[in-house]
Structure 1
Amino acid sequence: MVRVENLTFGYSADGFRLRIPEFSLVDGERLAVVGPSGSGKTTLLNLIAGILSPESGTIEVAGTVVSRLSDAKRRRFRASQIGFVFQDFALLDYLSARQNIFYPYRVTPALTLDVAAKDRAEKLATACGIGDKLDRHPSALSQGEQQRVAICRALVTQPKLILSDEATGNLDPESKGRILDLLFEQAAEAGAAVLAVTHDHELLPRFERVLDFAQFREGIQV
């Protein structure tokens, strides 16, 4: 599902350097990424999603070399193939929760907002506990509710790859387990892989593999 080779990336402002000789994620795998703040975990997700471009190296997702696509093609690919739960949620306040969930359908013609997609969104929202809040705007929702909207948006397109940046960070312990169950259930139905950044070590036994990302900061192959 994901193959990264000889990747290098840096932020010139603070001297941050990320070097990944090799990294892979197979179809359907559930991988948790841990590591200290500033080690580059979120940066990797953004590189895989095509939000950032590497200085060198190859990033391939579902057979497509994302790092070689134009900006417009990367956006379309991300909307149709990748579900991304952003750490800051990235919701648009001028849209309702329902409209935010449907946002991927607004930005790419590769997706069709049909009856099945609308029904799937309703079911996801109900499973996440926000079925009665879909007409509210993000400013009228709590942080936890906003996070649930972001999760529904990531899952509604049935992506082949789910990228999660602290998807359960603002939730209580019971909700964390329920949301993780939902992520894994939807991933299993779509045959999708899950790559999740988390600081919550209590969740790690739920994943098939755990990677300490601090090793990549030093450029060590794992």
Structure 2
Amino acid sequence: MVRIEDLTFGYGADGFRLRVPEFSLEDGARVAVVGPSGSGKTTLLNLIAGILTPETGRIDVAGSEISRLSDAARRRFRASQIGFVFQDFALLEYLSARQNIYYPYRITPALTLDVEARDRAEALAAACGIGDKLDRHPSALSQGEQQRVAICRALVTQPKLILSDEATGNLDPESKARILDLLFDRAAEAGAAVLAVTHDHELLPRFERVLDFAQFREGAGS
């Protein structure tokens, strides 16, 4: 699903530096990423998703060398192939929760917002406990509810790769377990891989593999 070779990335000449000689994520795998703040965990997710591009090296995702695609092609690829749960949720305030979940369909002509997709969105919202809040805008939702909207948006297109940046960080223990079950169940249905950044070490036994990201950081950064 993901293969990285000889990747380097940096923020400015004297700032944060990241080097990943090699990394792979198999189809259907469940991998947790841990490491200290500033070690580059979120940067790695952004590189895999094509939000950032490496200075050198190669990133293949689902058979495509995403690091060589144009900006527009990367956006289309990300919307159709990758479900991304952002740490800051990245919800649009002018859209309702339902419309935020539909958002990948609004920006990608290759995706069709048909009855099946709408039903899937409703089912995901119900499973996340926000089925009665879909007409509310983000400012009218709690942080935990906003997070669940972001999770539904990431899953609704049935992506082949799910990237999760602290997807359960604002949830109580019971909700964390339920959301992780939802992520894993939906990933299994679609044969999708899950790569999840987390600081919650109690969740690590749920994953097949744990990657300590401190090994990839070079130099100073925040």
Q: Same fold (TM over 0.5)?
A: yes
Question: Per the alignment, in what secondary structure is the counterpart of residue 102 of structure 1?
Answer: helix
Question: Per the alignment, in what secondary structure is the counterpart of residue 28 of structure 1?
Answer: coil
1:139 is matched with which residue?
139
**Where do residues 181-200 of structure 1 align in structure 2 (5 Å cutoff)?**
181-200=181-200
2:211 is matched with which residue?
211
Over residues 140-165 of structure 1, what are the superposed CA-to-partner deviations in whole Å (9 max), with x where a residue is unaligned?
A: 00000000000000000000000000
1:19 is matched with which residue?
19
Superposition deviation, residue 218 in structure 1: 4.4
Between 14-23 and 96-105, the greater mean CA deviation after superposition? 14-23
Unaligned runs of 5+ in 2: none
Q: Distance in 2 between matches of 1:3 and 1:62?
A: 9
Quick check: 2:16–2:218 contact (8 Å CA) kept in 1? no
User: Which segments of structure 1 move beyond 2 Å, counting only runs of 4 or more?
Assistant: none
Q: Distance in 1 between matches of 2:166 and 2:7?
A: 23
- Matched to 1:140, the amino acid is A
Question: Per the alignment, in what secondary structure is the counterpart of residue 84 of structure 1?
Answer: strand
**Where do residues 58-73 of structure 1 align in structure 2 (5 Å cutoff)?**
58-73=58-73
Superposition deviation, residue 133 in structure 1: 0.1
- Matched to 2:176, the amino acid is K
Question: Per the alignment, in what secondary structure is the counterpart of residue 92 of structure 1?
Answer: coil
Question: Per the alignment, in what secondary structure is the counterpart of residue 53 of structure 2?
Answer: coil
Q: Distance in 2 between matches of 1:144 and 1:210?
A: 25
Over the matched positions of the two proteins, sequence identity in percent amounts to 89
- Matched to 2:183, the amino acid is L
TM-score by length of structure 2 reads: 0.97
1:38 is matched with which residue?
38
- Matched to 2:162, the amino acid is I
Q: Distance in 1 between matches of 2:158 and 2:23?
A: 24
**Where do residues 48-197 of structure 1 align in structure 2 (5 Å cutoff)?**
48-197=48-197
Unaligned runs of 5+ in 1: none
- Matched to 1:74, the amino acid is R
TM-score by length of structure 1 reads: 0.97
Over residues 34-54 of structure 1, what are the superposed CA-to-partner deviations in whole Å (9 max), with x where a residue is unaligned?
A: 000000000000000000000
- Matched to 1:77, the amino acid is F
Q: Distance in 2 between matches of 1:72 and 1:176?
A: 34
Aligned pair count reads: 219
